[in-house]
Structure 1
């Protein structure tokens, strides 16, 4: 894996993501709507205002690193974009790392925007240095894990199948995956949600970090092994 190639590819991927209206809707409009609605009216429906913005950041990571990245890559593969990359020095590892790095950059923009809006609406997380480090680590591991899953689908299935299956898994993750409320701790979505909610309360969450690290390693290696440039 070459750092220069990865950085250049990440820049290209980020520009492509920011030019896609559907991806911008998933990346910014929906999470912002959730934060604003949750903080203004969420308590009427039993939402915990102390941790809800952290849950929305987890949702943003899930939508960007898994759904947006997976669907976009699936159609790049279908239309021969990835096939043309075969003729370049870019390797599978470079491709996966570049896409994950682009997702990291987009999530960083999302997080800054969501935090600014939440703080402006009166949210005051009890962040300690250890909790902040835990949240950052969990977010990075979550991006790698979700990107690995998205690229595994995109690199092995037809684009239309990837589109349908990715959206189905995305909705299942929202409803049952522990992004908003705690669910089975072995799920990567649940681990990320738990880690970020704990950080908002000033605590670190070692077990979710272990779960996320395991998923990140397995999904990245699996995607690298089975990813195909052409459909």
Structure 2
């Protein structure tokens, strides 16, 4: 069914057009491309081909071994999700909000719901490109697809993206763009270093971060990539955070 003025495109076509625009914007942005693609690939090479994982207890094999490649791939996929769904999308949304782009789009036939749907679609498109690139490069570094639970991997990526994009959009809709830029980049570093996204954490800290989105995403990806299992508990945690973030964004997000 058509909505709006005569001859206007179907709502789905409007959302797809916005998704295409958002995706191209990300891929043409040098800063976002660095964060979304270049840095994760550098991290993949470093974790797979140096003794970093072994020194941190993240892999049983020597540097460059199969265990290192599997663990590094799981961690870098988590970084890819965080860079696109949280940091990249949060920063882009914050500056779109400052310059009035969100408000203008919300008053068009696309509507506020179409704007958000387009951003979510762009996250999924960019994440698909990231995943293919990471897996392709990982294969050249010793990654094996044999032990991977592909349903677990896909569910982990989708649930992680949903949770992180919800909180990234909430941050962008409540903070000033400069604050969003600083906080988003700082949190990306903290998620990678101490948040359980790249390496599992032991003890009380491991239990705490396992209940937060980055830790739950890291646990889910490691289970899928290294153990070949689906970590339903971590997926449930991610979906809960996605629901809470979505409700909070609906309540407090401001287009102005």
What TM-score, normalized by structure 1, do the two folds share? 0.92
Residue 51 of structure 1 corresponds to which residue in structure 2? 71
Once the two structures are superposed, what CA deviation does each residue of 1:102-121 show, in whole Å capped at 9, x if it has no partner?
Answer: 11110110110110111011
1:7 matched to 2:7: no
Q: Taking structure 1 as reference, are residues 209 and 161 closer, same or farther at Cα in structure 2, changes over 3 Å only?
A: same
| Cα drift, residue 164 of structure 1 | 1.3
Following the alignment from structure 1 to structure 2, what is the Cα–Cα distance between the partners of residues 221 and 72? 21
The CA RMSD measured in Å over matched residues stands at 1.7
List, as ranges, runs of 4+ consecutive aligned residues in structure 1 with deviation greater than 6 Å: none
1:185 matched to 2:205: no
Alignment of 1:101-120 (within 5 A): 101-120=121-140
Q: Taking structure 1 as reference, are residues 3 and 177 closer, same or farther at Cα in structure 2, changes over 3 Å only?
A: farther
Aligned residues: 228
| Cα drift, residue 153 of structure 1 | 1.0
| Cα drift, residue 86 of structure 1 | 2.8
1:222 matched to 2:248: yes
Following the alignment from structure 1 to structure 2, what is the Cα–Cα distance between the partners of residues 228 and 90? 17
Rg larger in structure:
2
Point out the more displaced range, 64-73 or 214-223. 214-223
Residue 194 of structure 1 corresponds to which residue in structure 2? 219
Unaligned ranges ≥5, structure 1: none
Following the alignment from structure 2 to structure 1, what is the Cα–Cα distance between the partners of residues 247 and 17? 22
Higher RCO (CA < 8 A, seq sep 6+): 1
